[in-house]
Structure formats: structure tokens, C-alpha cells
Amino acid sequence: MWQKLPVWFRAVLTGLLVAGIPTLIWAALAAVNLKMTPRVPWSVAVMAAVLWAYWRYVRRDERARATRLAPKTWHLALLAGGSGIAAVWAAFAALRGLLHITPPGADLVKFPVWTIFAAIAMGSAVAGVAEETGFRGYMQLPLERTYGPIAAITTTSTIFTLIHLTHGRPVLPFLPFYFVAAVIYSLLALLTNSNFPAMLLHFAGDVMMFAIQYLMVLFAPGGAARSGHIAPVPAVVALLLATTSVMLFRMLWRSNALTELNALPS
């Protein structure tokens, strides 16, 4: 019965489950921890064990894209993806004055700093591992093989973006930036057939984003006022980083194509 369903349906549903189950487990653990014993971040240790068991299970499936990479490919993938993600957030900084950004909830300050930063680190790890495995692995790989990379990346990135609507209206200004970031992660998975570079970048990006949001609550509880203008310096930085990222992705693509050509039987 399952095999008779369309590939796109099976891929999307499986990807959502693979990404969603550990995310929901972490959300439940963190909520209980913050409500009952906020001074002791025990949920981080519990979730670390859950995430380890989760990865041990899913990595055996080729859809997890748990492919080890050569150092050269690793470095090139991190440079290409890292400059792309940096360009996304530089563009956000440039456009921030035009966007209606809702400040994070001030109730965060009532929790100990170590608990918040431990939760940020674990939440980012869960997002990096589970979302990349679910979206760029279990969802994207079957779609690539059946419908081609363009359809696969577009579908995966759109669903990844829309799933963030579960965070409510405050997330709306971020959606275009999430979509571009998702495309970058998808390209890394496509060109390397590995989720490891995107996992690392996703983790690092989330740590930075959530840490900055938390620091805003501590030191600028009202949030930054809208200026009505595009900030010129971040805009230029975004353009330079985007150009660099495109060049590096071209190098990564050529390196991948050369590797596949050399692997062909003579």
C-alpha cells in the first residue's frame, strides 16, 4: 500500500516525520524543564542521549546522506555555504529597517543565563541534525531521483520555510531569508551528497541567531526601531558575500563533476 503512493507524497511525509519527531521531543522536554526546574538544564542531557540514539538509527539509511567527505570538499562546502548564509543574514541586516520585527518575549530574562544558553545550543543541534536529515535527506533525495534537482530543491525549501509558520506571526519577516538559507543547504546536500556541511552551518547559524535574540532581550528589550531605509553597509557586504558564495558553489560543482568523471570506468 505504502509503495503505491506517489513518490512525492512518501518523501514529503517521511521527511516531515524524520525532522519532526526529535524536534517535538525536544520541545516537550524543554517546556517541562523550564516550568519545573529552570535552574537545572537536565533536558539538555536527556535530549543529547535521544539525539545520539536518533542519529545512530537514521544514519544507516542512504537517505540520511551520512557520507564522509574528503578534507578539500569539506573546506570548499563550508566556504561556499558559509558565505551564502552570511550573505543571507547580511541582507537581513540591510533590510531590517524596512521590516516589522517583533522583539523576543521578555519573559526569557526570568530564567538563568546558563539554562538559556544550554537550551540554545541543544535546540540548534536538534535543528541542525534533525532538519537536515529530514528535509535535505529523507525528503530531498527521493525527489531528486524522481523529479530532478530543481523540483526537489524547490519543494523541500518551500516546505521547510512554511513549516516555520508554526512559530506564529513574528516569524513572517524571516520567511524569505529562511527560504534562501534552505536553498543553500539543499545545494550543499546535492553537490556533496552529504548532510554534514549543512548540519554544521545550520547549527552555527541557529546558535548565533538565537543568542543574538536573547542578548537583545537583555540589553535592548524594546527591540530596534524601524528606520524605513536600507542600511547601505550591510547591503554591500551581502552583495560581496553572495558573489563569493556563487563562485565557490561553482568550484564545488566543478570539483564534484570532476570526481564523478574520474570514478567512471576507463
**For the segment 165-178, what is each residue's pLDDT rounded down to a tens digit?**
988 888 899 999 99
Question: Residue 126 CB: number of other CB atoms within 10 A?
Answer: 24
| Mean pLDDT confidence for 254-266 | 60
- 187 vs 133, 198, 210, CA distance in Å? 14, 9, 24
Domain-wise residue ranges, the chain: 2-263
Q: What does the pLDDT read at residue 104?
A: 65
**Is 70 a residue whose pLDDT tops 70?**
yes
Predicted confidence (pLDDT) at residue 261 exceeds the cutoff of 70: no
Q: 226 Cβ partners below 8 Å, 6+ apart?
A: 97, 98, 99, 100
Burial of 198 (0-12, 13-18, 19+ CB in 10 A): buried
**In the prediction, which pLDDT does 19 show?**
98
Q: In this predicted structure, what is the pLDDT of residue 224? A: 59
pLDDT in tens, 193-202: 999 999 999 9
pLDDT mean across residues, the chain = 91
Quick check: helix, strand or coil at residue 264?
A: coil
For the chain, percent of residues with pLDDT exceeding 70: 92
- Find the distance separating the first CA and the last CA of the chain, reported in whole Å: 42
Q: For the whole prediction, is pTM greater than 0.85?
A: yes
